[in-house]
Amino acid sequence: MGDNGFSLGEHGLIDKRHAYEESIRVPMLAWAQGFIAPGTRVARPGDMDGRSVLPALRGRSGLEPVELLYEYYWEYAFPHTPTVFALRDDRYKYITYHGIWDQDELYDLKTDSLEQHNLIEVPLFQERIRAMRTRLFDRLEATGGMQIPLRRGDWQAAQRKTGE
């Protein structure tokens, strides 16, 4: 399994700290002679957070469909990238930002796999947006994600730069 993808101009970005597909879709290769048939491919293993992937690799399902929670917290070393939260299900992705005035985003990944058409202001999608936003913040609260991490060293470095 590798690090998340580094953008090379997609969405006008050159970083990996965003919730677009180019960054969050991370391939995983597995080898376990005698346990996994050669050429096995698992398209959607379900929610694997803290669970073994072996049943999925052996062809057993029983795992519920996945809903990916994406969290990125602003870092002093990368000030151009805000705190980003996203929720992705098998068709839609909702993205919201904390700390800047950017607009939230909603994409229909089935009809817009390149995430070029933000549906956030389309009246037809307002109920879906509210539901995904609610699920996103429910999950953040349940996992402690509402606590924005601050490091004393970052704060001190910022004060030195401003002369405070």
What average pLDDT values come out for the chain (164 residues) when binned by 10 residues?
64 75 76 78 64 72 71 83 90 90 91 96 98 96 83 65 59
Task: Please give the C-alpha separations between residue 129 and each of 38, 71, 101, 113, in angstroms, as whole numbers.
Answer: 41, 18, 18, 18
**Predicted pLDDT of residue 90:** 87
**Predicted pLDDT of residue 36:** 78
Q: Whole-angstrom Cα distance, residue 45 to residue 55?
A: 9
- Structural domains of the chain, ranges and CATH numbers in brackets: 67-162 (3.30.1120.10)
**Predicted pLDDT of residue 7:** 67
The dihedral sign for the CA sequence 30, 33, 37, 38: positive
**Predicted pLDDT of residue 147:** 83
